[in-house]
Structure 1
Amino acid sequence: MTQDLILAIDVGTGSARAALVDAAGGAIRQISASEYDQIVPAFGWAEQRPADWWAGTVQAVRAVLDREPDAVRRILAVAACGQMHGTVLVDGHGRPTRETAPLWNDKRTAALVAAFERDNAPASYLAESGNPPTPAWPGFKLAWLRDNDPKAYEAAATVLMPKDYINLRLTGEIAMDEGDASCSFLMNPQTGQWSAAMIDRLGLDAAKLPPIRSPLDILGAVTAAAAAETGLAEGTPVLVGGADYPVAVLGSGVMRPGLASDVMGTSSIITLIAERPLLDPEMCNVRTVEGHWGPFTLLETGGDAMRWARRAFHEKALGYGEIVAKAAEAPAGADALFFLPFLVGERLGAHRNARAQFFGIGARHGLAHLHRAILEGVAFAVTRHIRIIEAATGQKLERVVASGGGAKTALWLKIKASAYNVPILVPQETECGLVGCAAMAATAVGRFSRVEDAVTRFVAYADEVLPDPAWADTYARMQPVFDRIYRHSQALYDDLDGLAAASHTEKVS
């Protein structure tokens, strides 16, 4: 029997997905998903049960195996990616020491992060951590668990990320890939190993951190117990695998310096592939699968700006397509109308309490201008991030690869291409994480000499969106004005917080 398939697994926040992918060309043959819920025990908290991830994975794997003839014997290897930062404590037997794990979007560590920022200057930790502090990082989640669930913390032999827990259940082996580790706030980006300085600064137990390995390494093989549960063949190789974000970036074809990824979902994440991390308080860094770095910024309000406009202007009576069509009626630049898209503040920097605003409204402006300004405002905000990354790395963008829901909106793609002034490519296969897993596995078992070669074979593009020269000229003149509006508005954010607090106090009294 020819072994011609890769089993790719994606342990997401909403579901576990499994896919059978052709090992030679990267085409997805079968795909299945099994959903599970988030648990919200308090405002700002978000948890899930590792047991639910495993049950979902088993169900999804069995579903794809059932649909493909002789699939079990045809699988070359298994590769998983998974949601980042979900902090799983397991004992020496691999059993979770608490039923749930705090997720990437869990904010319970906010007070710990604020205290850390108060007591530590960025210059004192960026070179050791590779990143500014945020509530998402597992380093802070571990500190919270130590202080608030000491029994579970003390009983833990090691800490894992979600895909690592699935790998443990599959193989009995423990490791964390470089991508997940690089966004833990605990890995030194120069050495690629755990930072003794950061571990000491957060007061954590270094013995609980697992080995850091390449995502392309073979971690182990499917055990007899895992084979009985999943239906896989005992002995099937399993990779270390990777964090879902860098694996999806790889699976979109973004893998060399000069290329960038724009994940256009609820937020907008721009990632530039670079030779080294960018140590800046307003930038994050992730280790990429092929061995580069991905300095990235996250605009909290990307696609969510359209969702807000649909609710605020139309009480959800119009569809998104109708809103985009209305925006298309206005000229590029919306007749000098600006929108700053900080509806929920910012993730990083000194002004996380930033506000959204329209600037420049005149009697000539109508609804079409407002909608167009929203689309362009997101593009200007992302362009601002791009220019910061370019200046710090000395690298200019050559191309951007778009993915996510926003990549399906033609007008927005053209606006962004013109604002960035570079072409935007749209992948033919939108399941970039699963494609990335397959490329990793095919390389690990020797089908390709380099993961870049596998990606070149597996990834094709459905469309290339070129900048409109006239639009690009308009946006180039508007961008500096947008930047100045942003800078000058910062002086008012604390005042707005004070007004909002006073208004809340009046309502309560």
Structure 2
Amino acid sequence: MILAVDIGTSSIKGAIISPEGYAFAYHKVHLFPEDRNYPGEGYAGSWKSGFIEIASILRRQDISAVVISGNGPTIVPLGKEGEILHTPLMWMGRENSSLEGTHSFYLPKINWLKENCPSVYEATDVFLTTSSYITWLLTGEKAVVSAHDEFDRYIWSGQDIEKYHMKESRFPPIVTMGAVIGKISSAGSSLTGLPAGVPVVGGGVDFMVSLIGTGVVRPGRTCDRAGTSEGINFCSDKPVPDTRLRTLPHAVEGLYNVSGILSSTGSLFEWYRRITGQENYGYAETLSAIKSVAAGSGTPMFFPGLKDGGLWEFSNGMAVGLEAYQGRNELGRAVMESIGYAVRRAVELFEENDCPIGELRVSGGQGKNVIWNQIKADITGCSILVPEVEDAELLGGACLASAALGRFDNFLEASDELVRIKKIFYPDKKEEAVYREEYEKYKAVSEEAKKFLRNIEEMKGSF
């Protein structure tokens, strides 16, 4: 049995994965980084307590490996005694100071710390990432995880470290995802209750692991990974030069992960739930109410923000066409359609770059949501495929650990064997036709909306 754990932005999830790839024990812990129980530690304290809770609930004596993945690029500065010197610099934070001609996603955050908190930077013994902080607690080993050599420069390289005028001794070695970083130490066992001596496998960055866990390891397959943010990830046999899309090396050497980033679709939906007093409602309940409003009704329209190339960032948004008879369900339909239209725009960008998408393999909580999967299929015209294990990071981690234990020759073979599709949502022809027409209207109006929003932004700056 494998204990797979993934540290997200708003929650930490864990599951016991069987050798056949089924999750039959699962636990999720919501993260509260502002909790006063973790002064100075922020998210890291929440990660630690969350992992301990998961380990205590899912603890078994027959666990053969533990694998951990996590959000990134996030940095945790540790002192010589292992103390956290500064709250983690999170992937979505604005603490960045990059140098032209460098590639690392992590060094700009460390450079920000060097420039703005020099005493913390000088006192730092080692910089760790989200998942490597927990693996260090378990094993005492300090290492960060990369997909393979081609991806290392996006973590950090000696050349880039030198350009930033930093000490290379503060940076732990890079190991390949799926490598055994160490074994649970006696201290790690005392902390978590997990058996000492169990190997701990490096999972690394969550989005890479999710590609493995959805089976998006063959050219032409696409994963729609959603949480606080959302990414449409296309497996390609060649890089794509379009700057509106991001091309990085894939988890599979020789392939590329081309992604369209929708930076805040999840946070937009949570904002809607919060302002309409539905924080404590189940997602199915919220979406059932939204579904009572006719698809593509056209009013109101919701525009999340100013970003060009696709309405992918929730900032300076606005709703237009509001009427006195409308309530939270009408607003909710507009918000959900704006998210769906952003996904459809991403699909269009891929198609413009000879990356045709006919189906989306979803991961995360959206995989459990029947209503939203059908709406997304209708808006995008794509079939929505739901894997047996919706939390792709957990199954992807189990694929890595299974290969590390020798059950498969490599994680690609493990992914082919263990990823199963349990449900497919096909576009409803009638609803798809409605959305095809409404989407074109939405695109046309969005250009005018962005002009208006820019004028408002300029006005705000003059007050």
Cα offsets for 1:59-102 (capped at 9, x unmatched): 5324422xx4xx1xx332221112323312235x6724615322
Q: Tell me the SS of whatever aligns to 1:101.
A: coil
Q: Distance in 2 between matches of 1:247 and 1:377?
A: 28
2:18 corresponds to 1:28: no
Query: Given that residues 107 and 156 in structure 2 are in contact (C-alpha distance below 8 angstroms), is that contact kept between their aligned partners in structure 1?
Result: no
Given residue 380 of structure 1, which amino acid in structure 2 is its aligned partner?
Y
Cα offsets for 1:165-222 (capped at 9, x unmatched): 2222333333222259999xxx546xx86273x5456554444333332201222333
Match of 2:262 in 1: 299
Match of 1:172 in 2: 140
Match of 2:3 in 1: 7
2:157 corresponds to 1:194: yes
Share of identical aligned residues, percent?
24
2:432 corresponds to 1:464: no
Match of 2:445 in 1: 485
Q: Distance in 2 between matches of 1:469 and 1:175?
A: 51
Given residue 162 of structure 1, which amino acid in structure 2 is its aligned partner?
T
Match of 2:66 in 1: 78
Match of 1:129 in 2: 103
Superposition deviation, residue 485 in structure 1: 3.2
Superposition deviation, residue 142 in structure 1: 0.4
Cα offsets for 1:263-311 (capped at 9, x unmatched): 3444433222233554555444555444444333333443555555556
Match of 2:337 in 1: 376
Q: Within 5 Å, which residues of 2 pair with 1:135-150?
A: 137-150=105-118
- Structure 1 counterpart of 2:127, from 156, 159, 165: 159
Query: Given that residues 300 and 342 in structure 1 are in contact (C-alpha distance below 8 angstroms), is that contact kept between their aligned partners in structure 2?
Result: no
Which structure 1 residue ranges, 5 or more long, are not aligned? 131-136
Q: Distance in 2 between matches of 1:302 and 1:253?
A: 23
Q: Tell me the SS of whatever aligns to 1:377.
A: helix
- Structure 2 counterpart of 1:443, from 400, 403, 411: 403
Q: Distance in 2 between matches of 1:163 and 1:358?
A: 39
Cα offsets for 1:233-288 (capped at 9, x unmatched): 44432222222232234223333222222234444332222335545554445554
Q: Distance in 2 between matches of 1:163 and 1:306?
A: 27
Query: Given that residues 86 and 102 in structure 1 are in contact (C-alpha distance below 8 angstroms), is that contact kept between their aligned partners in structure 2?
Result: yes
TM score, norm. by length of structure 1: 0.75
Q: Tell me the SS of whatever aligns to 2:177.
A: coil
Q: Distance in 2 between matches of 1:490 and 1:204?
A: 41
Q: Distance in 2 between matches of 1:384 and 1:30?
A: 37
Q: Distance in 1 between matches of 2:30 and 2:311?
A: 37
Match of 2:230 in 1: 268
Superposition deviation, residue 424 in structure 1: 0.2
Which structure 2 residue ranges, 5 or more long, are not aligned? none
Q: Distance in 2 between matches of 1:411 and 1:424?
A: 12
Q: Distance in 1 between matches of 2:324 and 2:230?
A: 31
Count of residues paired in the alignment: 460
Match of 2:390 in 1: 430
Match of 1:497 in 2: 457
Q: Distance in 2 between matches of 1:400 and 1:49?
A: 31
- Structure 1 counterpart of 2:433, from 466, 473, 482: 473
Q: Tell me the SS of whatever aligns to 2:261.
A: strand
